[in-house]
Chain A
Amino acid sequence: MIEEPDQIVFIVDDDASVRDALVSLLASVGQKALAFATPEAFLASGCPDGPSCVVLDVRLPDRSGLDVQRDLVAAGVFAPVIFISGHADVPMSVAGMKAGAIEFLTKPFRDQDLLDAIQRGIRIDRARQERAAELEGWRRMEAALTPREREVMSLVAQGHANKEIARSLAISEITVKVHRAQVMRKMAARSLPELVRIFDRLQAG
């Protein structure tokens, strides 16, 4: 199951036996795991760097796992969550899935079910991290544009022809073409559709 050495699973369960057993199970398939008794201890350990996912016991002593999941998001932990519960009922699992959990397992669960869910979670998290990294790159590139180039990119991405852009910015069409070439180079866009896609992603945040 190991795909990348820095991928990690976080386990939050108040029961020490369950924690130890889970850590050992993951270790037996070469997966690094860190276990915490409380969500506070997990949050205090700092945000994970590599792709990760969280295995969260729904029935923690103080608060419900659903609340904890909300706290994780609030603290900037976007790793996918797998709920494990000793007494899952249908409304609870529905609520968990709606809140963004990728899997809801009832204890005791089949080890393969958990491992599959973890693998899926990590894949989702890796994709998320890659997209985030890509976006971060584009942000940096966008920052290198001049104000005029940013205007030109915006108009080009919205589908305006060079002539229209020249008219609305009160510059010559030649100048628009120069700006546009600069934008394509600085944003590392190989084609107009790619530039449009990058622009949309930047707009979406």
Chain B
Amino acid sequence: MPPPPDFILALRAPTANNARAAAAVVALLVAGLLAVAPFASAPVEASEAFIPAYATALLALDLVAATLLIAQFSALGAVALLPLAATYLFVGLTAATWALTFPGVFSAEGLLGGDRQTTAVIAAFRRLAFPLGVLAYVVARRWQAKGGPALRRPRFLVAGTVMIALFAAAAVTWMAVEMAAAAPGFMVDERVSTATWTLVLWASIVLTVAATLALLRLELTVLDLWLLVTLAAFFIEILLLGFLASGVRLTVGWWAGRAFGLASTAVVALALLAETAALTVRAVRSLMVENQARQARTATLEALAASIAHETNQPLSAIVTSADAAVRWLDRPQPDVAAARARLAAISADGARAAQVVTNLRSAFGARPIARVAVDIPDLLRSAIMLAGSDAKEAGATISVELASSLPLVAGNPAQLRQVLLNLLGNAFEAVSSARGASRAVKVRAWAGGDHVHIAVSDSGPGMSCDMLAGAFEPFRSTKPEGMGLGLMICRTIVEAHGGRIAARPGQGGGAVIEFSLPSEAPRD
């Protein structure tokens, strides 16, 4: 059993400790605000020198946060994380261009050209982008909760997210540099901002409050909790920058706001980093445990098969020898009827014994009830595909998954159903690995139809003949040199025990398709 996915930051409900930690950070920020407030408008002379360091730290932390969010998306397929990742990427990249254009840091006019409005234009977009990004995340979360989009080609989604963030950062910087003259006047001089700038801050405050309220209406996860902390820091940052420091750059309040913003970004990035490290450790551990369990299962099955073979072969062998002996007793010049009769009696007893072995076996395996729970088919597919990953790599097979957008739950035993998928995937990998040169594609589809969930595993292998298709689910029908021929039989036993059906058919473009259906539980709310 892989652990349930609730140990992941983006999915887990916060514990009381998480909530306390978040509250403590917010309290610290407020205390900092109060402590700094009296001196907020005092200038910090020649502090331009700190701006590159600040921007570098911000860029690094934002990149870490964006990368880890994308990594969690890849692991979970939670699309909502992507707008958030894009936001962190955008905010980080524009922190760099913001510093590059900051007057008096790299050069008197800023490194990229433009005029004194340029830096402020970039800052304005950054002020608005973060709360907007959080709002986009909330919208995506709600969409996802309603069943969400069919997840196809996650790699393209990631690439698209990164491209959008890069493009937006480049566009904003270009615009700020080239069109600064046309921009509303944000700055009176290199340090003092205008009332127009204050409008931007008000807009940002409104968006931040909206994002906070929207987040609070979600079912909170640990990630959401830290986002709330970040929004609080962001809010305090605006208060310090725009109002307490009277909109003057390089003052105590301005720097304090920056520091708070940096600290809250660091909290999110580090929380994600810690979670990802823990996730990796757990994933590796669970994979190891599962592999061991699989090996143990195979070993048990082999031992079982050997013992069944032995248990039935002994009486059968005795029967054959007794029959041979009886014939020889009767063939003697003076037939020994008594000895032949004794052999016949032995044959009868051994036949009964062989039958008893079969009966015992059936009662040992047939009568066990299986524990059933509500099984989420996408989860099941994901865990099976993850487990089969190394086999796929070995076979050079590529797995594609096509999931219908909302699949009902299925009542069943997850371990057994996963075994069905693993057997089918294993067969598919073996089928495609024998395909020379051609594409080695294995496709898994799941869709709802009638009151059943259907799952099909198809491969681009050599396919099966009519004979093979007809007998595919019979025991000991392996076409593999080392196969026991039990895999598909076990699949059928499990699927039928779940009230489902399984069938094999030729694929449309060659190859084979094994499709099974399971009765769905209640429709998903």
Q: Give A contacts to B, CB under 8 Å.
A: 15, 17-18, 20-22, 24-25, 27-29, 59, 86-87, 107-111
B490 CB to nearest A CB, Å:
21
Q: Is the CB of A17 within 8 A of B349?
A: yes
- Given A25-B325, A111-B321, the answer on whether A20 and B314 have CB atoms closer than 8 Å is no
CB closest residue in chain B, given A26: B325
In the assembled complex, which residues on chain A have CB atoms less than 8 Å from the CB atom of B317?
Answer: 18, 86, 107-109
Contact A29 B310 (CB under 8 A): no
Q: Which of B309, B317, B343 has the most CB of A within 10 A?
A: B317
What B residues does A17 contact at CB under 8 A?
Answer: 314-315, 318, 322, 346, 349-350, 353
- Judge if B174 is at the interface, Cβ distance under 8 Å: no
Q: Are B336 and A20 in contact (CB under 8 A)?
A: no
Q: B305-345: contact bitstring with A at CB < 8 Å (1 yes, 0 no)?
A: 01001100111111111101100110010001001001100
If A17-B350, A111-B321 touch, does A28 touch B309 (CB 8 Å cutoff)?
A: no
Q: Is the CB of A86 within 8 A of B309?
A: yes
Tell me the bound Cα distance from A23 to B74 in angstroms: 69
Decide if B321 touches A22 in the complex (CB within 8 Å): yes
Tell whether, in the assembled complex, residue A86 and residue B353 are in contact, meaning their CB atoms are under 8 Å apart.
no
Indicate if the CB atoms of B321 and A21 lie closer than 8 Å. Answer: yes
Q: Within 8 Å CB of B319, what residues of A?
A: 21, 108
Known pairs A15-B314, A27-B325. 7 more at Cβ < 8 A?
A18-B318, A20-B346, A21-B321, A24-B339, A108-B319, A111-B324, A111-B328
Q: List 5 A-B contacts (CB under 8 A).
A: A17-B350, A21-B321, A21-B322, A24-B322, A27-B339
Contact (Cβ within 8 A) B309 A111: no
Q: Which residue of B lies closest to A59 (CB)?
A: B310
A86 contacts B310, CB within 8 Å? yes
Complex Cα gap A103–B346 (Å) = 27
Partner pick for A28 among B310, B325, B349, CB 8 A cutoff = B325
| CB–CB A28/B313 < 8 A | no
Q: CB within 8 Å of A: which residues of B?
A: 306, 309-310, 313-322, 324-325, 328-329, 332, 336, 339, 342-343, 346, 349-350, 353
Contact residues in B for A24 (Cβ distance below 8 Å): 322, 325, 329, 339, 342-343, 346
Complex CA distance for A59 and B309, rounded to whole angstroms? 12
CA distance A21 to B344 in the complex (A): 10
In the complex, what residue of chain A is closest to B309 when comparing beta carbons?
A87
CB neighbours (8 Å) of B322 from chain A are 17, 20-21, 24-25
In the complex with contacts A28-B329, A28-B332, A108-B339 CB distance below 8 A: no
Partner of B328, one of A18, A29, A87, A108: A29
Cα separation A29 to B321 with both chains bound (whole Å): 13
Known: A17-B349, A17-B353, A20-B346. A25 touches B314 (CB 8 A): no
Cα distance A109–B317 in the bound complex, in angstroms? 7
Name the residue in A86, A87, A109, A110 with the highest tally of chain B Cβ atoms < 10 Å from its Cβ: A86
If the complex has contacts A28-B332, A111-B325, are A87 and B310 also in contact, measured as CB distance less than 8 A? yes
Q: How far is the CB of B231 from chain A (nearest CB, A)?
A: 68
Residues of B within 8 A of A109 (CB): 317, 320-321
The residue in chain A whose Cβ has the minimal distance to the Cβ of B340 is A28
| Beta-carbon contact of B313 and A107 below 8 Å | yes
The residue that B318 contacts in the complex, of A21, A27, A29, A111, with Cβ under 8 A, is A21
Choose one: B306, B314, B349; the contact of A18 (CB below 8 Å).
Answer: B314
Q: For residue A59, which residues in chain B have a CB less than 8 angstroms away from its CB?
A: 310
Residues of B within 8 Å of A107, CB to CB, are 313-314, 316-317
What's the nearest-Cβ distance from chain A to residue B324, in Å? 4
Complex CA–CA separation, A110 to B329 (angstroms)? 16
Complex contacts, B315 vs chain A, CB 8 Å: 17
Chain B residues within an 8 Å CB radius of A28: 325, 328-329, 332, 336, 339
Whether A25 contacts B306 by the Cβ 8 Å rule is no
Assembled-state Cα–Cα distance A102/B87 (Å)? 80
Once bound together, how far apart are the Cα atoms of A59 and B324, in whole Å?
A: 23
Residues A21 and B313 in contact in the complex (CB < 8 Å), given A28-B336, A29-B328: no
Q: Are A87 and B313 interface neighbours, CB within 8 A?
A: yes
Task: Report chain B residues within 8 Å CB of A86.
Answer: 309-310, 313-314, 317
Task: Find chain A residues with CB under 8 A from B343 CB.
Answer: 21, 24
Nearest CB on A from B290, distance (A)? 30
Q: Which residues of A contact B306 (CB under 8 A)?
A: 87
Q: Which residues of B contact A27 (CB under 8 A)?
A: 325, 339
Smallest beta-carbon distance A13→chain B, Å: 9
Q: Are A15 and B318 in contact (CB under 8 A)?
A: yes
Q: Which 7 A-B pairs have the closest CB atoms?
A: A111-B324, A17-B318, A107-B317, A108-B320, A28-B328, A21-B321, A25-B325
Counting chain A CB atoms within 10 Å of each CB, the highest count among B309, B318, B346 belongs to: B318
Bound form: Cα–Cα A17–B342 in Å: 12
Q: Which residues of A contact B309 (CB under 8 A)?
A: 86-87
Q: Which residues of A contact B325 (CB under 8 A)?
A: 21, 24-25, 27-28, 111
* Residue of A with least CB distance to B306: A87
Using CB atoms, name the residue of chain B closest to A105. B317
Chain A residues in 8 Å Cβ range of B324: 25, 110-111
Nearest chain B residue, comparing its CB with the CB of A23: B325
A25: chain B residues within 8 A (beta carbon): 321-322, 324-325, 328
Q: Which of B315, B322, B342 has the most CB of A within 10 A?
A: B322
In whole angstroms, how far apart are the Cα atoms of A67 and B390 in the complex? 39
- Interface-central residue, A18, A22, A27, A59, by most chain B CB under 10 Å: A18
Q: Which residues of A have CB within 8 Å of B350?
A: 17
Instruction: Name the B residues within 8 Å of A21 (CB-CB).
Output: 318-319, 321-322, 325, 343, 346
**CA of A202 to CA of B317, assembled, Å:** 46
Q: Which of A20, A87, A108, A111 contacts B316 (CB 8 A)?
A: A108
Bound complex: CA of A86 vs CA of B306, how far in Å? 10
Chain A residue at minimum C-beta to C-beta distance from B305 = A87
Contact of A108 among B321, B342, B346 (CB under 8 A): B321
Q: How far is the CA of A65 from the CA of B342 in the complex (A)?
A: 29
Q: How far, in angstroms, from A186 to B524 measured CA to CA in the complex? A: 105
- In the bound assembly, the distance between CA atoms of A15 and B318 in angstroms comes to 9
Residue of A nearest to B318 (CB): A17
